[in-house]
Amino acid sequence: MDAIRDRRAVRRYTPQDVPDALVADLIDAAVWAPSAVNQQPWAFLVVRGRSRLAAFSERAKEHLFTVLPQALELHERSDELRQPGYNVFHGAGVLITVLAKPARYAPAEDCCLAAENLMLAAHGFGLGTCPVGFVRPWLNLPAVKDEFGIPQNYEAVMPIVVGFPADAPVAGFRLPPQIAGWLSFPEKAAASKI
Ligand SMILES: Cc1cc2nc3c(=O)[nH]c(=O)nc-3n(C[C@H](O)[C@H](O)[C@H](O)COP(=O)(O)O)c2cc1C
């Protein structure tokens, strides 16, 4: 419960690099997620390098501004995104994207479970993570998939930046859960003749 409650979206990172071995551990945690009929429909794209990620951030923003402006208007972080120099990767040095491979049963849902495993494991290692939904439309462009060597029939589902957090985590906030139903059907006591 502590790990689940204390994991936060981290948006400020130290310059310290995340060792490759830790990145591999995070991916190992991801693949222990459950999946429909154990189909394990995931693949991972690892991109390292702050400067290169900053350049990709500019390209991803450009794509959002030109192709999807209406989606941005509805987005509560769109003002921040429009500030010059805003880095969608928050200055992290590693981006791990969970990619869904073609599969029969809802592969994207399985990939989301894998992504949560990865983020909780990262938290356990003292790392911070942040999902970056902003970059997903750009990563799924056919030309960008080609550039990264991703098969065209794979879909970027959850891009996640990883790094060492620069600040102590702030407290999270959650609405109380809405219980839409909680139905109890007690078994009838077995008829007894004794
Ligand atoms: C699918 C998805 C996309 C997200 N995209 C972004 C994003 O592009 N940029 C960002 O800073 N945070 C992004 N987040 C992080 C959320 O804003 C964050 O998880 C939420 O505000 C709850 O905060 P917490 O994770 O600290 O509890 C995304 C989260 C999810 C699940």
In angstroms and rounded to an integer, the radius of gyration of the C-alpha atoms of the chain is 20
What's the 11 CA to ligand 1 centre distance in angstroms?
10
Q: For residue 170, what pLDDT is reported?
A: 87
Q: For residue 189, what pLDDT is reported?
A: 75
What's the 9 CA to ligand 1 centre distance in angstroms?
6
Mean predicted confidence (pLDDT) in 127-145 = 96
Q: For residue 181, what pLDDT is reported?
A: 98
Cα 69–Cα 175–Cα 110 angle in degrees, nearest 5? 65
CA pair distance 34, 149, nearest whole angstrom: 27
Burial 135-170 (b: 16+ CB within 10 A, else e): bbbbbbeeebbeeeebeeebbbbbbbbbbbbeeeee
Among protein residues, the one whose CA lies closest to atom 1 of ligand 1? 133
**What are 4-39's pLDDT values in tens digits?**
999 999 999 999 999 999 999 999 999 999 999 999
Report residue 130 as tokens. Answer: 């942040």
Which residues lie below 8 Å from residue 101, measured CB to CB, with a gap of 6+?
41, 42, 43, 107, 151, 153, 154
Q: Is 100 helix (H, G, I), strand (E, B) or coil?
A: strand
Report residue 52 as tokens. Answer: 């290169």
Domain ranges of the chain: 2-163
Ligand 1 mutation target, pool 132, 135, 160, 170, most atoms within 8 A of CB: 132
pLDDT band at 193 (very low <50, low <70, confident <90, very high): low
pLDDT band at 191 (very low <50, low <70, confident <90, very high): low
Tell me what the pLDDT averaged over the chain comes to: 93
In DSSP terms, 45 is beta-bridged to: 97
Residues flanking ligand 1, CB < 6 Å: 8-9, 11, 130-134, 172
Q: For residue 72, what pLDDT is reported?
A: 62
**What are 44-89's pLDDT values in tens digits?**
999 999 999 999 999 999 998 888 766 666 566 677 788 889 999 9
Q: For residue 2, what pLDDT is reported?
A: 93
Q: Tell which wins on pLDDT, 191 or 9.
A: 9
With tokens 């060792």, the residue in question is 19
DSSP state of 104: S
What CATH number belongs to 2-163?
A: 3.40.109.10
Among protein residues, the one whose CA lies closest to atom 27 of ligand 1? 8
Mean predicted confidence (pLDDT) in 179-192 = 87
Q: Is 57 helix (H, G, I), strand (E, B) or coil?
A: helix
pLDDT above 90 as % of the chain: 84
Q: For residue 101, what pLDDT is reported?
A: 98
Q: For residue 83, what pLDDT is reported?
A: 87
